[in-house]
Amino acid sequence: MLRIKLVKVGTLLFATLSILSFLTLALAKEDSKVCFECHTQFAERDYLSSVHGQFSCFLCHKGLDVKGHIKEKKKEREVFRGTLNRECFECHDVKSISAIPQHASSSLNVFFCSDCHDPHLTKSVKADKVKRAERLYCLTCHGKRDLRKRLKSGEELSLYVDEKEFLKSSHGKNQCSFCHLGFSKGRHPKTSYGSKRELSERISPTACARCHIDECRRYERCVHAAASKKRGDRIAPVCSDCHNPHYVKIEKDSKDLHLTTCAKCHADVDRAYRESVHYKAWEKGNKNAPLCTGCHKPHEVLVTSFDIRNNEVCLDCHKGIEKAHTTWFYNPPFRSPSFVKFHLESITCNVCHGKEKKGAVYLYPYDRVKKTPLRIERMRELLGVEGDKLNVYLDANRDGYLNADELWALFNSLTGRKVSLTFLGWMDVRDPVLSHLTEPKDHALRSCEVCHRADSPFFKDAFVVFRDRYGWPTVFKAHKDVLSTKSALTPLSQFYVFGSTRLLVTDFLLVVAIFGAILVPSIHIFLRISTRRWRKKGNE
């Protein structure tokens, strides 16, 4: 009997609450209708279908006189918004809201609720997640220009994404969660980064490698990765420093990307390049003229300063250049491409074609058996020295230069450890920046005597270059006597320029060899002719 009474009471209570809710909703709709007579910018139907549609306008807009509240327009907009947004916390607990990662990532002191949630059109979050595409859902907040986050470093990180620009990018069809791993419409973990750099380093490698695996593998071998990961250079670029992930250009539209991207770090090189024949050709519409990425592969940038491979880059475009040079560059009476090739294997193109017109000799330790450069790490291991102690080991007299005796001592030490060592010689410009300022060919050096004379300015400076496994050069200034003494004859057996009088003994030996090559056949012919009568009589 008691149970039946309780059921009746419950039913009556439910019916009463339902009637009250209906009446409240009806009254709310009536109140709202009054408002919509003037506030036509809001569609009554849309408001009534929102999560706030069951409430009267006056639940949030408190203290307004229906007849005279038009004077509220005189209030400053931000003050009005601030006052109105505080009404949200009458129903929505501030602690619960702050605990939501999306809210915790920004700041309730900076953003108003209405910045992301239109109070008159707010939909159920659960329903919105189902109906809206992920990108549109994310842009509910990230489409706000003022959305930003303060990092531990004090930097302000913009969280804004321009939807139109994003859709035009090569990533425009991707869902946000494809790159932002761990994020989705239903999951938005709270993140904490010390700086913008830390954010880039943590996101770029994993996100980009999902599609661009080959480019990422090449990047791992390049100078930028070596500087960033191995040397701790906090300025060396990662993917997002060159490619804005939300506005990545399609490849065919990004040919001139370097003009703004590379120049951010290499401003001095950019200035030199803009004076070069290559840039001027590109300006005139020659799209085959090399930009930065034409010579430096975009994702596999290698150290090119003081590098014996530099001419390989030039020859990629300038096909048949050896034959072309034979029209003027030859050793009379022979016009052989091999003569030009020999020079191209020892001299960088920009020694003659660059603006500087000043060169120096760079010597590289090279293992003749393995046919590879002798890396500085291997040399330290063989010599039993660590780090900067190698400098002390090489420069025995502490004068800041490597002289001929010190070079000979290094050669003896390494050959004594079963290394088939020689030093490859390479003539290059002194300032790597100016190697980007290539002049027109009619400005190039065309005089053999510039190098092949006793007082050649190109042999006044010499350097010994040691490279590590990442290609980074360690350059030692050398006395010019390393190019002109007998003790350098063996170490520099692969590098010699006739007529420069660097090694007098080799000049002498070469002259003897040339005269010997002429004299021996001449004597042979003379003897054959002069003894022909006697030999003929002997045969009779």
Encoding tokens for residue 267?
Answer: 């401003």
Higher pLDDT, 455 or 246: 246
Secondary structure class of 174 (helix, strand, coil): coil
Q: What percent of the chain has pLDDT over 90?
A: 7
Higher pLDDT, 125 or 280: 280
Q: What percent of the chain has pLDDT over 70?
A: 77
User: Which of 91, 137, 86 is CA-nearest to residue 114?
Assistant: 86
- Does residue 25 register a pLDDT over 60? no
pLDDT the model gives residue 27: 52
Q: What is the maximum span of the chain, computed from C-alpha positions, in angstroms? A: 159
Secondary structure class of 464 (helix, strand, coil): strand
The stretch 335-339 carries a mean pLDDT of: 73
- Does residue 390 register a pLDDT over 80? yes
Query: Whole-number mean pLDDT of the chain?
Result: 78
pLDDT the model gives residue 525: 82
Domain assignments of the chain as residue spans, ordered by start: 18-123, 125-254, 302-502, 506-540
pLDDT the model gives residue 499: 47
Secondary structure class of 146 (helix, strand, coil): coil
User: Which of 507, 416, 400, 419 is CA-nearest to residue 464?
Assistant: 400
Encoding tokens for residue 108?
Answer: 């309730």
Report how far residue 170's alpha carbon sits from residue 45's, in angstroms, rounded to the nearest whole number. Answer: 39
Q: End-to-end distance of the chain based on CA atoms, in angstroms?
A: 159
pLDDT the model gives residue 109: 45
- Does residue 506 register a pLDDT over 70? no
Ranges assigned E (strand) in 292-378:
359-367, 372-373
Report how far residue 366's alpha carbon sits from residue 374's, in angstroms, rounded to the nearest whole number. Answer: 5
| Lowest model confidence (mean pLDDT) among 350-354, 454-458, 488-492, 534-538 | 488-492
Report how far residue 185's alpha carbon sits from residue 336's, in angstroms, rounded to the nearest whole number. Answer: 70
* Helix runs in 86-133, H state only: 94-99, 101-105, 113-116, 125-131
Range ranked top by mean pLDDT from 71-80, 99-108, 161-170, 389-398: 161-170
Q: List all residues 6 or more positions away from 137 whose beta carbon is below 8 Å from its beta carbon.
A: 128, 129, 185
Range ranked top by mean pLDDT from 64-78, 283-297, 504-518: 283-297
The stretch 305-311 carries a mean pLDDT of: 65
Residues in the chain: 540
Q: List all residues 6 or more positions away from 35 whose beta carbon is below 8 Å from its beta carbon.
A: 57
Range ranked top by mean pLDDT from 114-123, 319-328, 488-497: 319-328
Q: Which helix (H) or strand (E) holds 240?
A: helix 239-242
Q: List all residues 6 or more positions away from 356 whose beta carbon is below 8 Å from its beta carbon.
A: 350, 429, 430, 431, 434, 437
Higher pLDDT, 80 or 480: 480
The stretch 460-470 carries a mean pLDDT of: 84
- Does residue 422 register a pLDDT over 70? yes
Range ranked top by mean pLDDT from 61-75, 79-93, 168-182, 508-522: 168-182
The stretch 341-363 carries a mean pLDDT of: 84
